[in-house]
Structure formats: structure tokens, C-alpha cells
Amino acid sequence: NVDVFENLDKVGSGTYGDVFRATSKDTNAVVALKKIRMTKDQETDGFPITALREIKILKQLKHKNVVDLMEIVTNAPSEANRGKGSIYMVFEFMDHDLTGLMDYQHSAPFSVAQIKCYLRQLLNGLHFCHMNKVLHRDIKGANLLINNRGQLKLADFGLARTFDDQARAYTNRCVTLWYRPPELLLGATLYGPEVDLWSVGCVFGEMLQRKPALPGKDEADQLDLICRLCGMPDERSWPGVSRLPFYDKLVDRRGTYHEQPHHAHARPLVAKLSRTVPDAAALDLLNSLLTLDPQARASCATALDHDYFRIEPLPAQPSELPTYKSSHEFNRKKRQAQHAAAAGQGAHAGRDGGGGGGWRDQGRRGGGAGGGRAR
């Protein structure tokens, strides 16, 4: 029963539930309680499917770089909860998330060794997921939890899905906008682990530049930013791209983008970022992750084998990393609420998962955004 825990404070809030820091009354251990959000429709249909998927997947994934689901607890229906009761997932408590640590105005920059340490742990955890046939589908800083022992763990598997070697249609309405790969923005429903690697590239770019790599206002703007950074895709640079449902919308704007060069060593991203990211090995790895063609994009294994991790300074050991006061994106957003209100809501929609609409919705007749069979 959830009554064995004492609720301390709220540390997160998302589409599928709120997260609280709590302590066990028996052991004094600090845990994170994720309250599963039940809507009226879900009460009619049963337990929320997103929570069922997350529980099933996390029971399967036991790895040092994947958050540990400890148990499931409930509280009984009562007057206080309007007779409905609640269900909680109990996780190990992590002191921070990566977005909370990357508070650009208040924290010191990450060292190169620290970035390498975090990135390697992210890739190790994600590689384990992919080897166990699980797509995360929402890699972003807020879902990368870090404790004061320097350990990074993948969290929030609410959008995760299992996959196999057969071609199956999945929804392309997944992955938070700023971290969403171009194939999903163009309407692809057949995809695999490569979608997570694009998101890793966005997180890596964010750590290197101390600002979001591709902060689109909506889906059309997101695709604009991608093409301005990586070039305009066509059949020579990305075989099959012209068959994606929304490619014609991209062609209509061809004149606003740089053409994607077609010789073997052309790398528009490297040319564009070389001034702000002087580390050639880091740029080469970033370029391999933010590759437009999903089939040419780096895998976790190839990324982990990149020279970037073998060049001085070497990745720090987790235990060597600095400790910080507890910092989560939820608290950061509370501190910045007044600034966000003054600047408008567009920027936050991309990081938090919004940012729909635009040409994609107008063009739905030309190819649906997932269709009835997509999952």
C-alpha cells in the first residue's frame, strides 16, 4: 500500500502521470512514486495501456543505465480520492535529470570528460534496450536521470514499444518535437532503433552547445531547422525519401534550404557547427547521429566504438563527476515560469512534447500521421 511511503514533494509532471519524491516509513529509503493518471475513458476501458506497456518493458529491462522499477503500490478508494483509488509505480530516486543539470544560466558548463561519460552511459543503456528489441521513442534530457554518484539512467518508458524484424507500422506521433527525427516528421510509419539515435544526437548537440540543438516551434519549423542544419534531402542522399507522405511539402520549400551535397565527404552539419564546436571528433560523431538517411545513421554500437571516446580527455568515471543540488526539469520550469510567459509558449512546447499542427495537419489527406493500424 502507498501508505508505507511518506510523500515529500512533487518532482515531475507529464502526460501520463505525476512523480513525487517520497521516503519509506520502514527503511527511510528515498524513492520516486509515479502516480498513474486515470481518465474517465481509461476507467471504462481498464488500466491505461501506456502504463501497462511501461511496466511490462521495465520488468524486462534490468541494466545499470535503465531506471529500476522496484514495485507497484496502490491506495484504496476513499473520500479523499473520490472513491477511485490510485496506482503508483515505485522507482529508485535519482537526484537530477539531464535537463535540470543543463540550466544554462545557473550551472557551470559540463567538462568534455563529463559529456563523454554521460553520452557513453546513455548509449550503453539504449544499446541494451535495442538488443532486447525495445524502442524508447522519447529520448530527451528530462528522461535521462542522474544521481550524485554520476550514474545516468534512461527513464519514462511510457511511449516505448517492443519491435521485431518484421515490417510493422507504428505511429509517428511520438518522440518530443525537438528530438524527433526527420523520417517521423515526413510521415514514416515503418522505423526501428534509428529513431532513438537521432534523439541521442539532439541531446549530444545540446550538451556540446549548452542550448537546444533544434528548437522548433511546430512540426514545419522543426523540419525547417533540420534541413538548414543538415541539408535538403533527396533520393541521392536519402534513398526512398520521396515516397514519404509529406515529402512534397518539403519540396515546396526547396529554395529556402541548402542543397544536400552528394559527394562522399560532404557534411553540411560539420561546416555549420565547426565554429561553435571546435572538437573535430565530437562533430564527426554528432554528424553520424544526425544523419538524415535513417539507414545510414549510426547505431549505438558504432557510436560507442567512435574515436571520440578514445581521444583525450577520456570519459570520466561516474564516481569522478561533481555532485549537485537536486535539479529536475520540473523545478527548472517553475523557476522560469515568468520568463516563459514573457517569451511565449512555443519554445516549451517542443521540449515537452507539443508542437503539432501546421502543414502536417493540413496535408493529412496526402498520407495519414500513423493511420488506424499504426501503434
Residues at the binding site are: 34
CA 54 to chain centre: 15
| 138 labelled catalytic | yes
Question: Exposed, middle or buried: residue 310 (CB in 10 Å: 0-12, 13-18, 19+)?
Answer: exposed
Residue ranges for the known binding site for ATP are 34
CA separation for the pair 345, 19 (Å, rounded): 23
Closest CA to 253 of 223, 216, 229: 223
Q: Which residue has the cell 515529500?
A: 8
Q: DSSP characters for 17-50?
A: EEEEEEEETTT--EEEEEEEP--HHHHHH-S-HH
Q: CA angle, corner 351, sides to 291 and 94, nearest 5?
A: 100
Sheet containing 5-14: order of strands? 5-14, 17-24, 30-36, 86-92, 69-75
Which residue out of 9, 45, 95, 138 is catalytically annotated? 138
Q: DSSP characters for 117-136?
A: HHHHHHHHHHHHHHHTTEE-
The three grid cell numbers given for residue 331, joined into one nine-digit string: 523545478
Question: Exposed, middle or buried: residue 204 (CB in 10 Å: 0-12, 13-18, 19+)?
Answer: buried
Q: Which residues are catalytic?
A: 138
